[in-house]
Structures are given as C-alpha cells and as structure tokens.
Amino acid sequence: MKRTTAVAVAVTLLGGLAVATPVTAAAADSAPIGFAAVNALGQNGTTGGEGGPEVTVSTAADLIAAIKATGPRVVRVQGMITVPAGMHDVTSDKTIVGVGAASGITGGGLNVGLPVSETTTPPADAVHNVIIRNLVFRNATDDSINVQMFSHHVWIDHNDLSRGYDGLIDIKRGSSYVTVSWNHVHDHAKNMLLGHSDSNGAQDTGHLKVSYHHNFFNKTSQRNPRTRFGNPVHIFNNYFLNNSDTGPACQAQSGCWIEGNYFDNVEEPMTNSYSGPKGNIVERNNVFVNSGKPVVGGTVTDPRTYYQYALDSPADVKALVTQGAGTGKI
C-alpha cells in the first residue's frame, strides 16, 4: 500500500542527554486499511468516485447536487461551504475531498445512507463505496457525518471535525465495512457512536464492522467511540488526549479489539461496562499516561480473520498521530 511519509522527532534521554530519534510518520494512505479494504457484499475494497468525472464545487447548491448525482464522481470542495441546516445525502461511488487544508462544510452534515426504516434485510440499493477525505466540519446542526441503513465500504480519512450539535462521526443501523482513519476530532462531547441503541440488535448484529486507526481524539469527552453489537470493532494506533469521561466504551454485546494506542490523561481509557448491557474488550500493548485503569473482559473476534495489518509501536503513536492526522496531509 503506497503512502507518503513525513518525519517526526521523538526525544529520549540517554545518559542525561536529550537524543532526537526520528519517527517516520505514515501520513497518507493511498487506499484504506482495515474493514473498508475488505472484499465483501459484492464490493471490492473502497474506491469512491474513481473513474468518474471530477468536479470542483464552491457553493452549497453545487455541492449538494454533486454528492447526490447518480454514478461515480470525484467532488472537490473548494473553501468552506455553508450548507443548509440538517443532513445532506451522499449516493454511492463518491469521493468527496477538500482542496488544501481549510476547505470543508459548516452548518450541516453528510448522510451516507438510505432513509431510516426498521428492516433487518440489507436493501439491494444500500449506499456503498464512499470516500470522505481532507474536509473541515464545523457547526453541524445534527451529525457532522452519519452512516446508516446498511451502508458499506465507507472510508472517512484525514478530516478535522469539531463543535457540532450531535455526533461527529456516527455509524449505525446495520452499516459495515467502514474505516475511520487519521481524523482529528476535538473540542466536542458526543464524538462517535457505533450503533445507536441497546434495543437495535435485530438490525445491527452481524454488521457494524469498523476499523478506527491513527485518529487524534483530542478533548472529546465521551463516545470515543461508544459501540454496540459490532464484532470485531478494531481500535488501533490512536492517540487519546484529555478525554474527561471515557475512551472506547464497548457495550451491548459489541467486541472491541483495542491495541497499540496511546492514552494520555484519560479518566477511563476503556470500558466494557459503561451503561446498559456489557460488551467485550481484548486489550493489547497500549500505553497509559496519567490515565485510569482499563475495564476489560470477554472474547472478541481477531481482526486478522478479515484482513492483515501492521501496527506502529504505541510509543510512537503520539508523535505520528499529532503530526499526521487532520487536513492538509494528503
């Protein structure tokens, strides 16, 4: 998998002297790692609008029309676009990517999915193959990004999200094969949901397979993420900083495989007993600094059942993620 690289510097002490040790930061993947890369449900990986026309938009009307258009399309967002309040639908086979480091959406959010229903059968026309990259999200009146109704193969990468009304990135109602990577999420309370209700097992069980990696959870007090029913939920190589409530909270039969992360001043870095029915957590090789004790237990499906991956050392994660996450890095 091709990546562009940057160099961070980790400072260690050797014999009382500060020694700078270079840390290579894998700053931009050319394709997703994790569940969005898995061939499943008739979709081979996640390619978004590849092969379709490319359009650059700078107004709300043009943006909304482009993301709803039929067929593959690469939509380049130029500047900060104020959209009407509420959620704006994204159709299949779309890449939505910001131009530069300061382009994005304010005033509303993106909805990847069909209208809500109680069906437990995945619809043939479920939204799929969507990439959202390099966008700033601010002041959403609902969610900033919502994935719902059995949507699959979605890659949410290198975005900067904060100060919305509800969730920054919510994934629910049977959606699956999603990767959330290299995002900077900050200054927000209700950060990320995976599964919206303890009573939605009929629709969610067997789905909600999501990978969260190399994200910077910065002053997001809760839902980092809060998970239900998904198994496995793979949470690796993320940096958690100043989370006043919890890091990952895995409940309602969900199974979280949490490894290689760096927890820095997190009151409860992970728990399978947050509220409601318990979930399951396998915890491996994480770093805890000025943080509480993990609450773990149960069994979780190994993510390698579905895909192979390489882990960065958790000692390097703080430097890698703070330099590599967010916009302007692809």
The CATH number of residue 179's host domain is 2.160.20.10
Q: Is residue 77 part of a domain?
A: yes
Q: Is residue 20 part of a domain?
A: no
Q: Is residue 68 part of a domain?
A: yes
Q: Is residue 25 part of a domain?
A: no
Burial class (CB in 10 A: 0-12, 13-18, 19+), 107: middle
Q: Say whether 228 is catalytic.
A: no
Q: What is the pLDDT of residues 81-107, one digit of tens each?
A: 999 999 999 999 999 999 999 999 999
Q: What confidence category does residue 27 fall into, taking pLDDT thresholds of 50, 70 and 90? A: low
What residues are paired with 176 via a beta bridge? 152
Q: What is the pLDDT of residues 141-199, one digit of tens each?
A: 999 999 999 999 999 999 999 988 999 999 999 999 999 999 999 999 899 999 999 99
Cα distances from 107 to residues 82, 142, 157, 184, 255, in angstroms, run 6, 9, 20, 19, 34
Q: Is residue 285 part of a domain?
A: yes
**Is residue 47 classed as helix, strand or coil in its secondary structure?**
coil
Ramachandran region, residue 141 (left: φ > 0; alpha: ψ -120 to 50; beta: rest)? alpha
Q: Is residue 207 part of a domain?
A: yes
Q: What confidence category does residue 305 fall into, taking pLDDT thresholds of 50, 70 and 90? A: very high
**Are the beta carbons of 194 and 171 closer than 8 angstroms?**
yes
- Its domain, for residue 67, covers 42-324
Q: What is the pLDDT of residues 214-238, one digit of tens each?
A: 999 999 999 999 999 999 999 999 9
Q: Is residue 92 part of a domain?
A: yes
**Is residue 215 classed as helix, strand or coil in its secondary structure?**
coil
Q: Is residue 191 part of a domain?
A: yes
Q: What is the pLDDT of residues 307-329, one digit of tens each?
A: 999 999 999 999 999 999 999 99
Total domains in the chain come to 1
Q: For residue 291, which phi and psi values (nearest 5 degrees)? A: -130, 165
Q: Is the pLDDT of residue 4 over 50?
A: no
Within 8 A by CB and 6+ apart from 17, the residues are: none
**Is residue 96 classed as helix, strand or coil in its secondary structure?**
strand
Which is the catalytic residue, given 173, 223, 226, 228? 223
